[in-house]
Amino acid sequence: MEYVHLGRSGVMVSKICLGTMNFGPHTSEEDSFKIMDRSLELGFNFFDTANVYGWKIGEGVTEQIMGHWLAQGGGRREQIVLATKVFGRMGEGPNERRLSAYHIKHACEQSLLRLQTDHIDLYQMHHIDRESPWEEVWQAMEQLVREGKVIYVGSSNFAGWHIAQAQAEAKARNFMGLISEQSLYNLSARMIELEVAPACEYYGLGIIPWSPLAGGMLGGAFEKTKEGRRASEHVQKQIEEHLDQLEKYGILCKEMGEKPADVALAWLMNHPFVTSPIIGPRNVEQLEGSLRALEIRLSEEELERLDQIWPGPGGSAPEAYAW
């Protein structure tokens, strides 16, 4: 395993992040334990979850599974950088969602209980909240940091200007602010290259790409389409829309002698602003298979061909659209 700094912070995280969204809905607690135990053996130390995962309002199913795993001891908690998120609806009340100071405090305390730990290493805002002012959000986060319940703060699904706004307000308060941004980013979804990636580079935020395989579309679209996320109606529609590109991509990967999923992960890790793509294995075999991406070194010719197959926005803004 390779390790990199999480943004401009001093903490080091594995170059691939273990995503846990499948834990509960698609992976049993027993199998989730096996995946997490094997992750530690392989050198993964960056585990990501969210209070809404499990998709049963207010239950935090995935956090509970992780809490049961951590409660076994054996140095599990000490070996990982634990990340979770706040924003989503956790109850029927009007204050059981979003980023009010009221909800941030309550949501954090509930996550700590479910995770059976006394602190969260990376507490991420799952979405921007246009109804809560930054002075309120940062006051709540600062309090959690002072109490030792949170170490670092990150964002997810923010626009570039949200990151700039957040960092300006944090600086005015002499607070570190954001150290990471978790964004949708993969070969077929490159919009963040316009403004989010440049903003993250400028402010020293590490980018943590979610859905690095486009929901499975980039993981070998013509294989096992009746299994996993690739079998979903949404992904099948994506496959139909990108059929020509996927065929060309499959040919390139075959020429390289590599699996499409490994090439997609390697392409993300080739970008210096990317910290750790998030993988969401449903079993140990998928987890172990992801390590091949760390060994792939893409040539200039291969990168150019990938750009031809999966063109981005043309660079960063405003040059991408103004010149």
Residues known to be catalytic:
53
**Token pair of 206, please?**
């590490």
d(CA 197, CA 187): 14
Neighbours of 21 (CB within 10 A): 20
Q: How far is CA 65 from CA 32, 117, 148, 255, 310, in A?
A: 8, 13, 23, 41, 37
Q: How far is CA 66 from CA 38, 154, 161, 266, in A?
A: 14, 20, 34, 28
CA angle at 1 for the pair 209 and 183, rounded to the nearest 5°: 5
- The sign of the torsion formed by the CA atoms of 113, 117, 119, 123 equals negative
**Token pair of 191, please?**
């919009």
Nearest to 130 by CA among 108, 151, 161: 161
Name 208's bridge partners: 182
